[in-house]
Amino acid sequence: MTEEKPTTEPATKSVLKRNLVANFGGTIWQALMGFAFIPLYVRFMGIESYGLVAFYATLQSVFALFDVGLGNTLTRELARLSVKPGSGQETRNLVRTLETLYWIIALFAGTVVVLLSSLIAHHWLNPAQLPQSTAEQAVLIMGFIIVFQMPVSFYTGGLMGLQKQVLLNVLNVCISTLRAGGAVLVLWKVAPTIQAFFVWQICLSVATVAVFQRLLWRNLPAAEAAPSFEGRLLKGIWKFSAGMGGISVLAVILTQLDKIVLSKMLPLEEFGYYMIASVVAMSLGRVFTPVFFSIYPRFTQLVSVKDHESLRLLYHKVCQFMSVLVLPAAAVVAFFSYDVILLWTQNPTTAEKTHLIVSVMIGGTALNGIMNPPYALQLAFGWTKLSVIKNIIAVIIVGPLIVLLTNSYGAVGAAGAWLILNIGYVLFEIPVMHGRILQREMWQWYRRDFAVPVAVGLAMAGGGRLLLSHASSQPQMLFQLILISSLTLGFTLFSVPAVRVIFLQHLPGRRHLP
């Protein structure tokens, strides 16, 4: 019955829009911080030291698999409990239980890195200019950072589930600015060394986790008794958590296997260039990740109240919105990768060594973003089995493929494996998912939500590359990029009905468009 729904439709739309805006603002700012300061890191420390920074990012992602799905489980459970009356005590006990487990996991992960720091530095990494002792010290500090950085994702997941995303993103903007800007200040004024860089990171990580922990607990619903560890609460969520844990482990393997393999196969300098290319290509995730975290709680609420028609309409709107966000940017960067990297780094050598990797890798990242709304829909239904099975198959295939393509084509080959993986998701996951969830919606997804915007985006960006000559100066290069980006975005936007209607409704004098 409609009166049983926890919120009115206009209110839920307002919350969703507010969360989207907040998530976009926060993630875009964080992306800008990364892009702005990476060239400075390289300039102060050198490309090999930046290779260690990149290795830390990979290591952090690998140890995220120790999460065993607890962060995503907390997001889903807090979203579910938020529409359940009188659930304050249960909510607080659940957070305490999962929080305790998470800190134990973080301590274990950090201890492993500390104990293996010498082995990693001497037998895995391949520095040519940096002393082995410097690499070992850097890896040692990484272990301490991981202890305090891992729980941040847990508290972030809790705030996401409570839909405190405006507050969360304000904090993320401040922290990312301090993390990046403070690191450059330390390198400039204190010491241009990798050790100084990581000491700053650990100081900020300690402060960050303390702030996030306090904010999550302050925003939980009130309860009569103090929160306590209750093992029985795990019985109701262990299947979903185990499924999410399996997905997380496999996802980390699939997204980080290329970095792990290349950190061993390539000299540290070449690995640093590969990671710079990866930063550019994977930065597209800064665009689609906010959408996922905004819609996942809302999908979960609609599933909980069994409003399947609203769920269907929202699903297609979000899928088309995602296509407009992701595809034009990916197409332009793929066709103009050299220009983009040169404008960013002001270094022709870096642009030459990275642009082909970026062109291939960003295609895979775009397809990965397109698959985020279908993935959020699966999680809203509590269905994790499909993602576990698909990723097991992918790991079996992609692992050897990365090694084979890397041996044959170098770093570009590893990027190609990422593209092939995500093409497989689009071709095989969608039919299986829509055979069970939102049946009879598959062809609308392929036609309207995916195929049309893909074709338009590629045609506009590719046509621009063919028609425009290579720029003779950087101002001309920038003008061409702005022109092609604007045209590609505009034509792609008008190619999808849901986004086109929303856009026209917000034009002056078109408020009452049917």
Reply yes or no on whether the pLDDT at 345 is more than 50. Answer: yes
Reply yes or no on whether the pLDDT at 359 is more than 50. Answer: yes
Reply yes or no on whether the pLDDT at 436 is more than 70. Answer: yes
Reply yes or no on whether the pLDDT at 381 is more than 80. Answer: yes
Under the banding of pLDDT at 50, 70 and 90, the label for residue 13 is: low
32: CB partners within 8 A, 6+ apart: none
pLDDT per residue as tens digits for the range 284-305: 887 787 788 778 878 887 887 7
DSSP state of 86: T
Residue 79 or residue 43, greater confidence: 43
Cα–Cα distance between 330 and 367 in angstroms, integer?
A: 10
> What's residue 513's pLDDT?
41
Most confident residue range from 76-85, 230-239, 480-489: 480-489
Q: Name the residue with tokens 């050790």.
A: 195
> What's residue 8's pLDDT?
42
401: CB partners within 8 A, 6+ apart: 417, 420
CA nearest 464: which of 364, 331, 357, 358? 331
Reply yes or no on whether the pLDDT at 281 is more than 50. Answer: yes
Least confident of 262-271, 303-312, 419-428: 262-271
Cα–Cα distance between 262 and 275 in angstroms, integer?
A: 10
Say whether pTM exceeds 0.75: no
Least confident of 86-90, 92-96, 133-137, 500-504: 500-504
Cα→Cα distances 206→31, 97, 199, 279, Å? 22, 21, 11, 25
pLDDT per residue as tens digits for the range 104-114: 988 988 898 88
Q: Are 418 and 258 in contact (CB under 8 A)?
A: yes
Q: Are 57 and 38 in contact (CB under 8 A)?
A: no
CA nearest 427: which of 398, 399, 377, 390? 390
Q: Are 135 and 56 in contact (CB under 8 A)?
A: no
* Residue 506: both structure tokens together: 């917000």
Reply yes or no on whether the pLDDT at 512 is more than 60. Answer: no
Q: How far apart are the first and last CA of the chain?
A: 27
Q: Are 456 and 429 in contact (CB under 8 A)?
A: no
Under the banding of pLDDT at 50, 70 and 90, the label for residue 83 is: low
Instruction: Label residue 402 exposed, middle or buried (CB < 10 Å: 0-12, 13-18, 19+).
Output: buried
Q: Name the residue with tokens 């905004």.
A: 294
> What's residue 4's pLDDT?
40
pLDDT per residue as tens digits for the range 151-209: 888 888 888 877 777 888 888 888 888 888 888 899 998 988 888 998 999 999 999 99
> What's residue 68's pLDDT?
62
pLDDT per residue as tens digits for the range 452-497: 999 999 999 999 888 877 766 788 888 888 999 999 999 998 888 8
